[in-house]
Amino acid sequence: MHRTVFSMLVDNTSGVLSRLAGMFSRRGYNIDSLTVGVTADDRYSRMTVVVTGDRQIIEQIEKQLRKQEDVIEIKKLEPGRSVCKELILVKIRVDAGQRQEVISVTDIFRAKIVDVSEDSMVMELTGDQSKLDAFLKLLSEYEILELARTGITGLSRGSEDVTYLDSLEY
């Protein structure tokens, strides 16, 4: 079993997310992470889907995705040949005596403090999953009040396999 990250260029039309997620559901495949956002050309969206499975399952998922009419392009984002990041926001309960400790941990990870109140702090951190998990582990001695993770998004490195949006035709 291994994790695979698919980066897909899809039509930016209503129902695309539902149709693609439905394809996974109908075939019994689980989505570990899913992010979607419009590209520089608002006719298209970039969808990043993370799945786990053996080689046969991953190949079947890729074949099924390629059959979808909304999918313009699919890339597997291979480690070392791509950049994959995730964003978390974490709110922890802190009192005045704990703030400096939390600020120190935040600084070590190059996280950003985005909100401070009398009894809580909200931090923002972007990085790979292992960095985010290590950050959360250090914060585990504090009460985590809320946590939001965006899921993985990514792009391949370099310009060799770029699809130029203005060259796509409908």
CATH number for the domain including 88?
A: 3.30.70.1150
Pairwise CA distance, residues 127 & 38, whole Å:
21
Residues 107 and 142 both lie in one domain? yes
Q: What is the DSSP string of 62-95?
A: HHHHHH-TTEEEEEE--TTSEEEEEEEEEEEE--
The pLDDT value given to residue 159: 81
Q: Are 10 and 71 in contact (CB under 8 A)?
A: yes
The pLDDT value given to residue 167: 61
CA 42, chain centre distance (Å): 20
Q: pLDDT by residue for the chain (170 residues), tens digit each?
A: 899 999 999 999 999 999 999 999 999 999 999 999 999 999 999 999 999 999 999 999 999 999 999 999 999 999 889 999 999 999 999 999 999 999 999 999 999 999 999 999 999 999 999 999 999 999 999 999 999 999 999 999 988 777 766 666 54
Answer with the one of 50, 76, 102 that is the final residue of a domain. Answer: 76
Pairwise CA distance, residues 24 & 20, whole Å:
7
Q: ∠ CA(67), CA(43), CA(162), 5° rounding?
A: 70
**Which domain covers residue 135, as residue numbers?**
83-153
Residues 25 and 42 both lie in one domain? yes
